[in-house]
Structure formats: C-alpha cells, structure tokens
Amino acid sequence: MKKAAIFIAPGFEEIEALTPADVLNRAGAEVELISVTEDKSVTGAHGLTIVCDRVFEGKPIDEKDILILPGGMPGAKNLQSHSKLADLLKTYYDQKKWIAAICAAPMIIGELGFLKDRKATCFPGFEHHLKGAHHYPAPAITDGHIITGRGIGAAMEFSLEIISNLYGANKASELREGMVVPTPADQ
C-alpha cells in the first residue's frame, strides 16, 4: 500500500489539499493529513476547517511514498516557515523520494533549490521563487521525483499526475474515467 502525507497549515487552499487526499484514497493509498500547528483542526484560506489525522510534532512521521504540499495563502508561507518540515523535505529530496507541490507551494521547494534545471509550474506570479527551474504554465508537471501543479483549477490534474507516478498511467486513466474527468485534450 502506498503512503502519502499532506501537510496542512493555516490558510491552506482547501481544494488543493483535499483533492489529492481523495484521489489517492480512491487509488488505495493510505493518506495522512498532518497539521503543522499544535492543533489537529486547521482552517483554510476560505474558512473551511478540517480535522487532520495528527500534528507534525510528537511521534516521528512514518516513511511515506510521497510528501504533498498544498498551496493557498498564507498556507504556503506557513508551511515554508516550518523548519522541521523543511528538514523532512530535504531528506526526501536527497533520497530521491516523491515530493509534490501545487499553486504557491512550489515556492517552498524552489527556494530550497529542488527545482534547479527542472521543469516546473506554479501559480502565476510565483515563478521567481522557482530558482533555476524551467517554468511552463501546464496544469501539472513531473520532472524526476518532483511533481508541481499550477493552482486550484489544476487540482484534479495534479492529483492524477501523482497517481500516474505512484501507480502507473493505467490506474490514473481508470480513476479519470471513473470520476468522469475529461482529458486535457477533451477540454
């Protein structure tokens, strides 16, 4: 069973956190929502409060197949300021394990230097944070073990890109069909 961690900070973009959580769950993954605050309840950028599975502090985070960073403001800034999360991201990056970030969150991995000489996307206006990346305005891009997504409107494509990388293109197609998600060519 694949395991994913989605990190949640105050001001997170709700759809960018919950869409990957839902799609990964449909694929059969074990998804853990992890609050970077001292409270399991976290309120998003648009006033929705979710209850995470756990908080970051305390017991160590079990080994995951992928770490996911949703965007939103000030959510992405709040994730960026969490030093222990940055340390965890560096460990995963060094071990060439999957890391995914969408919307404003690619700025976090861009500022850490993870996107140098890679293809990447982000929310318009955050390109300068992608330090050395080759920016493309695509809904979702994979380069090596890094997946980036453009924004809220790309949350489903970003999620299916994650599935394609973790489970293969056939599983992503199966989920796309089952959820009646048009292919980009159909739109």
Average pLDDT of span 2-21:
98
Evaluate if residue 187 carries a pLDDT over 70.
no
Instruction: Quote the CA–CA distance of 164 and 134 in Å, as a whole number.
Output: 22
Asked if 13 contacts 103 with a C-beta cutoff of 8 angstroms, the reply is: yes
> Contact at 8 Å (CB) between 149 and 16?
yes
Which pLDDT score is estimated for 57? 92
Each residue's pLDDT tens digit, 137-166:
999 999 999 999 999 999 999 999 999 999
Contact (CB, 8 A) for 158 and 151: no
DSSP the chain: --EEEEEE-TT--HHHHHHHHHHHHHHT-EEEEEESSSSSEEE-TTS-EEE-SEESSSSPPPP-SEEEE---TTHHHHHHT-HHHHHHHHHHHHTT-EEEEETTTHHHHHHTTTTTTSEE--STT-GGGSTT-EE---SEEEETTEEEE--GGGHHHHHHHHHHHHH-HHHHHHHHHHTTPPPGGG-
Q: What is the pLDDT of residues 59-84, one digit of tens each?
A: 888 899 999 999 999 999 999 999 99
The pLDDT assigned to 60 comes to 84
Q: What is this structure's pTM?
A: 0.96
pLDDT above 70 (res 105): yes
- With a cut of 80, say whether residue 43 has pLDDT above it: yes
User: In the prediction, which pLDDT does 58 show?
Assistant: 83
121-136 mean pLDDT: 96
Name residue, tokens 């001292």: 38
